[in-house]
Amino acid sequence: MAGWGRISGGDYIQIPWVRNPMKRLYPGIFSFHFRNLIYANGRNSSYLCFEVAGVQYYSSRTVSFHRGVFRNQVYENKSYHAELCFLSWFKANKLSPGEHYHVTWFLSWSPCARCAEEIANFLKQHRNVTLRVFAARLYYFWNPAFQQGLRKLRCLGAQVKVMSYHDFNYCWENFVYNRYMRFRCWKKVHRNYNFMSTRLEEILRNMSLLPEEIFYYQFGNQPRVSEPKGRRKTYLCYKLKLLDVTLEQGYFKNKKKSHAEICFIDKICSLDLDQTQRYKIICYVTWSPCAHCAEKLVAFIDDHPHLSLQVFTSRLYVHWRWVNQHGLRQLWKSNIPVLAMTEPEFTDCWKNFVDNQERPFEPWEKLKQHSDKVKRRLQKILKINTIDLFSEQSSEEIRDLNNLVDAVRNLNLDAHDPHY
């Protein structure tokens, strides 16, 4: 017995009698519970076949390997899904901060909404664990709550896929008492795989993502557009990170009574983040903040010293007005750098916030020239009253603002990180 399982948020999931994993499954159990039916009535148990490879940080050498099977466990008329049983056993028996772990799951059902939340909390707390999930069937794939759970796992870096014929064959060879018999697949295995794979792709692709045409129109840094689509609005895409883990991401657009920046502030405040941690937020905006929003952002960061905020803007909002210029300078003075979006930032925004159908970002004509123009205007604004902007330094100590902007831009490492 593995004992109690501490899983999320410092709280204990009460699984007093977590059994150690089984080595393998009997062929009939595997064929019945892992059959990839679209609607599998009567299959109320969940099975989880797992592999855990522990790798040393500095030598990249595999130092431990574990394989086994968990299923639902019932204690005092309460059922605990296989995912929670694995996490409890793993934390209590195998998890060590000195190793990096590659965990692979083969599930008879994809995680439910509650399990997805627990898995997400686990991944947030343990950056030394990477997770791959292969599901034979999608659990309540039409339910928005279950869809959101899968998207949350995807946002935290977990791979979520549907089991193919090759995955079933792999499980048969490694997790089933097969008596050296070859795997014989059931009818419609390929057709059902194609159906569920398409559904999963649609679920993961619809992570509150921007349509391509909206991105190109709203984030395009051309000073004018010829399409008769009306005025371009403010869109704000944000990414909340703890070290190298993305905890939350999404986008807002202007509402009638609330600018996108205000919606963003309300969202971050609602997360109730741990004030003992240092979080980094990167924002991509179509228009730089107006004077009112700049004031709100400054007050927000002043009230939350555990947050650092970096803003990339496609265009400058009414930059010729002194009040908006003053707002931009106040942001810099409060350590909230506002930088012009260049091709790396547009590419990062495209990858993370656009329903891109896995197509690469295609820059529009004169993107670089428009970015350079926005950058020069922004630098000209920030050079005004530079001594006031950095009042603690003398004018002789103030370096050229171009170098400062480049240095701040280099802090945005994840825009160039291939992991994102």
Q: Which residues are catalytic?
A: 261
- Beta-carbon contacts of 2 under 8 Å, excluding residues fewer than 6 positions away, are 18, 19, 20, 88, 89, 92, 93
Q: Of 148, 219, 225, 221, whose CA–CA distance to 373 is shortest?
A: 221
Contact, 250 vs 206, CB < 8 A? Answer: no
Return phi, psi of residue 49, to 5°.
Answer: -95, 130
Contact, 48 vs 25, CB < 8 A? Answer: no
- Beta-carbon contacts of 32 under 8 Å, excluding residues fewer than 6 positions away, are 43
Burial of 230 (0-12, 13-18, 19+ CB in 10 A): exposed
Is the Cα torsion angle 164, 207, 339, 223 positive or negative in sign? Answer: positive
Return phi, psi of residue 240, to 5°.
Answer: -100, 125
Contact, 85 vs 93, CB < 8 A? Answer: no
DSSP-derived secondary structure letter, 414:
G
CA distance 227 to 214: 12
Contact, 144 vs 151, CB < 8 A? Answer: no
Rounded to a whole number of angstroms, the distance between the first and last alpha carbons of the chain is 39
